[in-house]
Amino acid sequence: MVQELYHFIGGKRTKGRSGKFGDVFWPMTGEVAAKVPLADASEVWDAVQNAKAAQIGWAATNPQRRARVMMKFVDLLNRDMETLALVLAKEHGKTIPDAKGDIQRGLEVAEFAIGAPHLMKGEYTEGAGPGIDIYSLRQPLGVVAGITPFNFPAMIPMWKFAPAIVCGNAFVLKPSERDPSVPLMLAELMMEAGLPPGILNVINGDKTAVDALLDDPEIAGIGFVGSTPIAEYVYKRGTANGKRVHAFGGAKNHMIIMPDADMDQAVDALIGAGYGSAGERCMAVSVAVPVGQATADALVAKLIPKVESLKIGPSTSNDADFGPLVTKAHLQKVRDYVDLGIKEGAKLKVDGRSFKMQGYENGFYMGGCLFDNVTSDMRIYKEEIFGPVLSVVRAKDYAEALRLPNEHEYGNGVAIFTRDGDAARDFTAKVNVGMVGVNVPIPVPLAYYTFGGWKRSMFGDLNQHGPDAMRFYTRTKTVTSRWPSGTKEGAEFSIPTMK
C-alpha cells in the first residue's frame, strides 16, 4: 500500500490539492513507498500566509520561552531517535548508524539555538553625547524559508529552522521531494514541544514550489542547500526579489597525503570519508592527492583491497559500510561517470558498477569504485559525482597538491594528512577552501562554529549554524536616544558630530 504524504500548514497535516505527486522510493528495495504531493503556488501562498499570521505573536514571545520550545524539541528527538532513524534510512538509503548521525548533527544545532537569547543581545553605549545613549537590537526578519537537499533530510532542515525559529521568525520548509517523511515528522515534534501553529510549515514540492517561495513578497530570507546550479539560481532570483539569501552548493573535496603521513591512518580516513553514505555527502572526500610517486604507489596498493572489501548492504543491515544510492536515476548518473572516466583515460582499479545485492535485486546499489591516474582536465575530476567513487590524482610535489584544490571551482572542504606541523600550517593558511581538516578527513565544524564553503560551493555572505545563523536570521536596528535634561539647543542644521 503506497502511502500518500501531505503538507504541514498552520500546525495541521494538509492534503495536497495540486493533483501532482512525486514518487518516494525505498532505495534498498527499489519499491515506491509513498507519493508526495507537489505543491502549486496557491498551496505555497497558504503556508506563507499561515506563517505571517503567526509570526508577530511569536516574535513578541520572550526569547527564553522560545528557547524552551527548542529544549523540549531536543528531548523529543532523543526520545524518537530510533523511529526517526529507521524512516530516514529507508527513504534515503544510508545505514541506521549514519541516519542517527544525520539526526544528531541537526539536534546539536537545535541545542546551540537554545542560546539565542544570549546571542541576540545587542550593544549599548551610555553617554555617547550629552544625554544621548545608543543601543542596537537584533530583530527577526519575519517569514523565512528553507529549501533543502535529499542527502541530509534531518540535519539540514534543522540547521535552518532551529536558529530561525528561536530568533522569532516563522518558517516555511521545502524539503527534498525524494525523502520528505522525516522533515514532516520534525514539524510535528516541534508542535509537541510547544511551538504555536504556523511557525513551522512544511510545503512539499519541486521547482514550482521553490519558484513560488522565491517570488513571494512576504518572504524576507531564504536558506538553500543543494547542487551548485540550483544554488546559484536560487541566490540570483531570491536576491533580485530583494530577499536575504545564502545558498550552499556542491563540492569536490580533496585530501592531500604528504609523504610523511601515517599511511594506514590516511587510508582508513579515505575509505570512511570517500565511501560512507555511498559518497552522497557534500563533505565526502572524492579526490585523493598523494604527493610523490612513492606515496601514490603505496596509497593505491593499500586502497585497492580495502575498496574491494567494502560491505554494501540494505539500510537496515547492522554491519553495512554503506547502503544504496538514493534513486535509480542517480545510480545511473554515477555509473555513467565511471564509464566516462574510463573513456577519459583514467585507470579504473576497482570497478563496482555491476554490484548486485543478493535478495534486493531491484535496489539502487553500487559497489565502491577507485580511479588512479586521474588528471585535472578530466570531467570526472572537475564535476561532482556524488557516489562511491574515489579519484586519485598524483601530485609531483606539495606545490602541485596545493594548487589542485586552489584552482578547483568548488571550495567546500579539504584535508591534509601529514606529521609535519609546518606543512599543515602553510596549507591551512594558503588553501582557498572554506573548511579545512588537518589529519581529519571530514572537517564539518561543530554547531557553535559556522559551516560554509568558498567559491562556487556557496553564494551569499553569512554561513550556516554557529553565530552566523543568528546574524542571518535577524537584522540590526540601532537606536539613538536623548532624554534632554532641561537645556534648549535650538535647531541644528549641520550633520551631528561628536567633535
Catalytic positions: 282
User: Site residues for ligand NAD, window 433-462 (CB under 6 A)?
Assistant: 453, 457
User: Site residues for ligand NAD, window 249-308 (CB under 6 A)?
Assistant: 249-251, 282
* Edge-to-edge strands, sheet with 219-225: 12-14, 7-9, 200-202, 170-174, 143-147, 219-225, 244-248, 458-459
What is the crossing angle of helices 207-215 and 228-240, to 10°? 30
CA nearest neighbour of 116 among 68, 58, 160: 68
- The one-letter amino acid code at 318 reads N
Q: Report d(CA 210, CA 102) in Å as an integer.
A: 24
Alpha helices in 321-397 (DSSP H): 328-344, 379-382
User: By C-beta, is 314 or 411 nearer to ligand NAD?
Assistant: 411
User: Site residues for ligand NAD, window 376-395 (CB under 6 A)?
Assistant: 384, 386
Taking the complex as a whole, the smallest distance from the CB of residue 147 to ligand NAD amounts, in Å, to 5
Q: Report d(CA 80, CA 100) in Å as an integer.
A: 11
Among 150, 161, 337, 371, binds ligand NAD (CB under 6 A): 150
Pairing of strands 200-202, 170-174: parallel
Based on the shown chain and the rule CB under 6 A, indicate whether residue 176 belongs to the binding site for ligand NAD. Answer: yes
Based on the shown chain and the rule CB under 6 A, indicate whether residue 216 belongs to the binding site for ligand NAD. Answer: no
Distance, C-alpha 402 to centroid of its chain: 26
User: By C-beta, is 329 or 498 nearer to ligand NAD?
Assistant: 329
Range in contact with ligand NAD (rule: CB under 6 A) among 14-22, 122-130, 172-180, 424-432? 172-180
What cell numbers appear for 471 in the block? 546574524
Among 14, 55, 95, 148, binds ligand NAD (CB under 6 A): 148
User: By C-beta, is 188 or 206 nearer to ligand NAD?
Assistant: 206
Among 15, 17, 207, 425, binds ligand NAD (CB under 6 A): 207
First to last CA, the chain: 77
Alpha helices in 8-141 (DSSP H): 41-60, 63-79, 81-92, 96-113, 116-119
What cell numbers appear for 160 in the block? 535552518
Among 92, 94, 100, 174, binds ligand NAD (CB under 6 A): 174
Q: Give me the residue whose beta carbon is nearest to ligand NAD.
A: 226
Taking the complex as a whole, the smallest distance from the CB of residue 384 to ligand NAD amounts, in Å, to 5
Cβ-proximal residues to 360 (8 Å cutoff; 6+ apart), any chain: 28, 29, 30, 314, 324
Based on the shown chain and the rule CB under 6 A, indicate whether residue 149 belongs to the binding site for ligand NAD. Answer: yes
Kind and range of the H or E run holding 262: none
Total of chain residues touching ligand NAD, rule CB under 6 A: 26
Based on the shown chain and the rule CB under 6 A, indicate whether residue 183 belongs to the binding site for ligand NAD. Answer: no
Convert residues 115-144 into a mask of x (bound to ligand NAD by CB under 6 A) and - (unbound).
------------------------------
User: By C-beta, is 37 or 140 nearer to ligand NAD?
Assistant: 37
Cβ-proximal residues to 469 (8 Å cutoff; 6+ apart), any chain: 109, 113, 159, 163, 164, 450, 462, 463
Based on the shown chain and the rule CB under 6 A, indicate whether residue 27 belongs to the binding site for ligand NAD. Answer: no
Among 139, 227, 428, 439, binds ligand NAD (CB under 6 A): 227
Taking the complex as a whole, the smallest distance from the CB of residue 116 to ligand NAD amounts, in Å, to 22
Range in contact with ligand NAD (rule: CB under 6 A) among 2-10, 20-28, 246-254, 436-444? 246-254
In the complex, which residues of this chain contact ligand NAD (CB under 6 A)? Answer: 147-152, 174, 176-177, 206-207, 210, 225-227, 230, 248-251, 282, 384, 386, 412, 453, 457
